[in-house]
Amino acid sequence: LPAKHIDTGMGFERLCMVLQGVKSNYDSDVFTPLIRKIEKITHTTYGKNTETDIAIRVVADHVRAVTFSIADGQLPSNTGAGYVIRRILRRAIRYGFTFLNQKDAFIYQLVDTLSEQMGEVFPELIKEKNLITNVIREEEQSFLKTLEQGLLLLNDLTKNMEGKRLSGAKAFELYDTFGFPIDLTALILSEKGYDLDVKEFEVALQNQKNRSRAAAEITKDDWTILFDKNETIFVGYDQLECQSKITRYRKIDSKKDGKLYQIVLDETPFYPEGGGQVGDQGVLVSAHEQIKIIDTKKENNLIVHTTDSLPKNPHHTFTAKVDVKLRKLSEANHSATHLMHQALREVLGTNVEQKGSLVSPNHLRFDFSHFAKMTDEELQKVEVFVNARIAENLPLEERRKVPFAEAVSEGAMALFGEKYGDSVRAIRFGNSIELCGGTHVKNTADIWHFKIVSEGAVASGIRRIEAITSDAVKAYFDNQATQLEEIKQLLKNPIHPTKALQLILEENNSIKKQIDALLREKALGMKGELEAELEDLNGVKFLAKKIDLEQNALKDLVFELGKSHDNLFVLLATQPDNDKVMLTCYISKELTEKRGYDAGKVVRELGKLIHGGGGGQAFFATAGGKNPGGIPKALERAKDYLV
């Protein structure tokens, strides 16, 4: 090393603690601004209660780790490093929920404090502050929706446990259904004086992995080597056919696709799947036969071509021909993806980063970092931007084997998480420059037109756009025109179909209001009938009955009963369709507060009898199912809750 040093393992926080003469890292000014902010948000005082103090320290410590990770480009997710970030944040959320009484998102508010404190040394905290704030808030809101339900379920499990150990199968159900990290379940159990059967959990997890693996299992024979060559020469950037010889082949068996074969050529024009772009298809042609190539992938330095049959004589020389039409469509979609990436950064800001993509002949899919649903205006701006670049007839400027540092210094966009070699390939259309190994159009005019077909969320802080170009856009516009003609015919060919539709919708809305009013009137008319059937059981006015009423009207009915009667417990069953059943439970405030009755718990448990489930609040909850035969048993069991 040019500078000699001793690694004490002390770290920045401990160094500050020593220099400031305090007894803990958390008493140094590294943490005190965060702790003061947490005190203010949660209305607590640090140093007064051990449980509260631990929770405050956990939140302060964990928000630092999560904030810096997001600033560096790592978003929470369900896999890899992203899952570590998600688990850290969820642990902090749980401490805030349980020990600081924070039932709503609050940790995101600490990002301001942290960026003010550290932003001078770490400017990325200021630059990415909005993204970090919104990602953490979304993660909090998402996890809080399941946290309370998960904690209730875990509480129910511990109440009904024999002994002090929770089965791993039950813990796996929490993990698989509610996204409860196993370490969080173990921590909560430990706080309650219980432990977890970790081995049983690991068995359940492994069984799930085995099931997934078996569903996608592929067995491969050993390679039959015709002549030893450990790499394939790719010529597909410059030509779509070439003379090739087979160097090796093997048989593969896939549970999904059956018996297939893989072939390696000494030289190939087939692009192997990579960078989001699907592999080429095409044919191998000799004087005697033609073999269809159905996919192309890369395996180490070899380009592997998948086919459903082997040549009769693999020693022949073949002409390898790429399916030109499919390649051209993929090229149009790939080049459009680059232009759309540029457009998103122009419209939404430089916080936008590519997080995944798919480029196929049929469409393109692009995942990117952004914290909010895109507005119609923003989507339109992206479309206009891309189509303007298409109209400019921008030529492809391709540079191969450019030193990585040189390409980046010239403005080429390197994608976070991608691995690049010392030399790279740079693709440029106008001001759009990206490092890319895929295939592209020679001129943006070849894309013809760009159209976004959908935009939505795929994960916290990750949005997805699906779009089409070229032939797919033509088909899309033709389909839209056909649908418009069909609508006009249904509307008796009006000059202004949108106005005609608006009138129909207004008329329909008016009729719906009349129907709702009649249903409410019917429900109120049933009130007296139901009041006459109320039973007095253990000081509770009880009713469990199947009735014929629409769900919204039924809700109005039980709340009207609640206005007239104290200590009311009502369970009503309805059957809107032959295979659909609903349970509705209403419990008076007096019973929820004094006796601990819980309508949500009632419908969750009785919902199992109708092969369904549900939930809600302590005073009102509903469950849906598909087993009408379970209604009598559910109504009968309702009395069991009057304890």
259-270 pLDDT tens trace: 999 999 999 999
**Whether pLDDT at 420 is above 90:** no
Is 181 within 8 Å of 150 (Cβ atoms)? Answer: no
Is 409 within 8 Å of 346 (Cβ atoms)? Answer: no
Query: What residues does 620 pair with on adjacent strands?
Result: 586
Query: What residues does 73 pair with on adjacent strands?
Result: none
Looking at the chain, the domain(s) classified CATH 3.30.980.10 span: 329-477
Q: Residue 148: its pLDDT value, please?
A: 77
Average pLDDT over residues 524-535: 88
Q: Residue 303: its pLDDT value, please?
A: 96
**Whether pLDDT at 180 is above 80:** no
Is 54 within 8 Å of 99 (Cβ atoms)? Answer: yes
Is 570 within 8 Å of 561 (Cβ atoms)? Answer: yes
Average pLDDT over residues 184-191: 83
In this predicted model, what pLDDT tens digit does every residue of 12-69 receive, in sequence order?
Answer: 888 888 888 888 888 888 899 999 999 999 999 999 999 999 999 999 999 999 999 9
Average pLDDT over residues 203-226: 80
Instruction: Report, in angstroms and rounded to the nearest whole number, the Rg of the chain calculated over CA atoms.
Output: 32
Q: Residue 292: its pLDDT value, please?
A: 97
Average pLDDT over residues 138-145: 88
Residue whose structure tokens are 């896999």: 79
Task: Show the tokens assigned to 324.
Answer: 């030109």
* 60-64 contact pairs (CB < 8 A, 24+): 60/26, 60/31, 60/34, 60/35, 60/110, 61/31, 62/88, 62/89, 62/91, 62/92, 63/34, 63/92, 63/107, 63/110, 63/111, 63/114, 63/136, 64/34, 64/114
Q: Residue 252: its pLDDT value, please?
A: 92
More confident residue, 220 or 298: 298
Q: Residue 3: its pLDDT value, please?
A: 78
Instruction: Pick the range with the lowest mean pLDDT from 3-12, 196-205, 443-452, 467-476.
Output: 3-12
CA atoms within 13 A on the CB side of 101: 5
Query: What residues does 426 pair with on adjacent strands?
Result: 399, 435
Q: Which fold has domain 219-322?
A: Elongation Factor Tu (Ef-tu); domain 3 (2.40.30)
b or e along 81-101 (b: 16 or more beta carbons within 10 Å of the residue's beta carbon)? ebebbbbbbbbbbbbbbebbe
Confidence band, pLDDT 50/70/90 cuts, at residue 216: low
More confident residue, 521 or 608: 608
**Whether pLDDT at 375 is above 90:** yes
- Give the residue from 43, 39, 40, 19 showing the smallest Cα distance to 29: 19
H/E stretch holding 306 reads: strand 302-307
**Cβ count within 10 A of residue 609:** 21
In this predicted model, what pLDDT tens digit does every residue of 600-631 receive, in sequence order?
Answer: 999 999 999 999 888 889 999 999 999 999 99
What is the rounded distance in angstroms from the CA atom of residue 306 to the CA atom of residue 293? Answer: 6
Region of 563 please: left (phi>0), alpha (psi -120 to 50) or beta: alpha
Task: Show the tokens assigned to 500.
Answer: 């005609």
Q: What is the mean pLDDT of the chain?
A: 90
Q: Residue 215: its pLDDT value, please?
A: 63
- Give the residue from 615, 612, 633 showing the smallest Cα distance to 624: 612
Let me know the angle formed at the C-alpha of 52 by 51 and 56, rounded to the nearest 5 degrees: 120
Q: Residue 439: its pLDDT value, please?
A: 97
Percentage of the chain exceeding pLDDT 70: 98
pTM value is 0.65
Candidates 3.40.50.720, 3.40.50.12280, 3.90.1300.10, 3.10.310.40; CATH matching 514-641: 3.10.310.40
Helix-helix angle 50-71:129-159, to 10 degrees: 140
Is 276 within 8 Å of 356 (Cβ atoms)? Answer: yes
Q: Residue 400: its pLDDT value, please?
A: 93
What is the rounded distance in angstroms from the CA atom of residue 579 to the CA atom of residue 598? Answer: 27
Average pLDDT over residues 388-406: 95
Percentage of the chain exceeding pLDDT 90: 58
- Give the residue from 621, 602, 625, 601 showing the smallest Cα distance to 613: 625
Confidence band, pLDDT 50/70/90 cuts, at residue 72: confident
Average pLDDT over residues 74-94: 88
Q: Residue 631: its pLDDT value, please?
A: 94
Looking at the chain, the domain(s) classified CATH 3.10.310.40 span: 514-641
Let me know the angle formed at the C-alpha of 124 by 119 and 129, rounded to the nearest 5 degrees: 80
Q: Are strands 568-577 and 540-546 parallel, antiparallel or unpaired?
A: parallel
b or e along 446-463 (b: 16 or more beta carbons within 10 Å of the residue's beta carbon)? bbbbbbbeebeeebbbbb
Task: Show the tokens assigned to 151.
Answer: 């904690």
**Whether pLDDT at 219 is above 80:** no
Q: Residue 591: its pLDDT value, please?
A: 94
Residue whose structure tokens are 């936008």: 352
What is the rounded distance in angstroms from the CA atom of residue 251 to the CA atom of residue 308? Answer: 10
Query: What residues does 457 pair with on adjacent strands?
Result: 463
**Whether pLDDT at 92 is above 70:** yes
In this predicted model, what pLDDT tens digit does every residue of 234-261 receive, in sequence order?
Answer: 999 999 999 999 999 999 987 777 899 9
What is the rounded distance in angstroms from the CA atom of residue 25 to the CA atom of residue 208? Answer: 42
- Write the DSSP symbol of residue 443: B
Q: Residue 214: its pLDDT value, please?
A: 66
* Burial of residue 50 (number of CB atoms within 10 Å: 0-12, 13-18, 19+): exposed
| Most confident of the ranges 223-237, 332-346, 529-543 | 332-346
Q: Are strands 450-459 and 258-265 parallel, antiparallel or unpaired?
A: unpaired
Instruction: Pick the range with the lowest mean pLDDT from 74-78, 120-124, 452-456, 579-583.
Output: 74-78
**Whether pLDDT at 5 is above 80:** no
Confidence band, pLDDT 50/70/90 cuts, at residue 417: low
> Which runs of E-coded beta strand occur in 414-518?
423-429, 432-435, 450-459, 462-469
Confidence band, pLDDT 50/70/90 cuts, at residue 291: very high
Confidence band, pLDDT 50/70/90 cuts, at residue 83: confident
Q: Residue 93: its pLDDT value, please?
A: 94
Confidence band, pLDDT 50/70/90 cuts, at residue 217: low
Q: Residue 534: its pLDDT value, please?
A: 94
- Give the residue from 366, 271, 394 showing the smallest Cα distance to 328: 271
In this predicted model, what pLDDT tens digit does every residue of 586-597 receive, in sequence order?
Answer: 999 999 999 999
What is the rounded distance in angstroms from the CA atom of residue 611 to the CA atom of residue 452? Answer: 40
b or e along 520-544 (b: 16 or more beta carbons within 10 Å of the residue's beta carbon)? beebeebeeebeeebeeeeebbbbb
More confident residue, 578 or 434: 434
First to last CA, the chain: 74
Q: Mapping DSSP to helix (H, G, I), strand (E, B) and coil, where does residue 248 land?
A: strand
CATH number of 329-477: 3.30.980.10
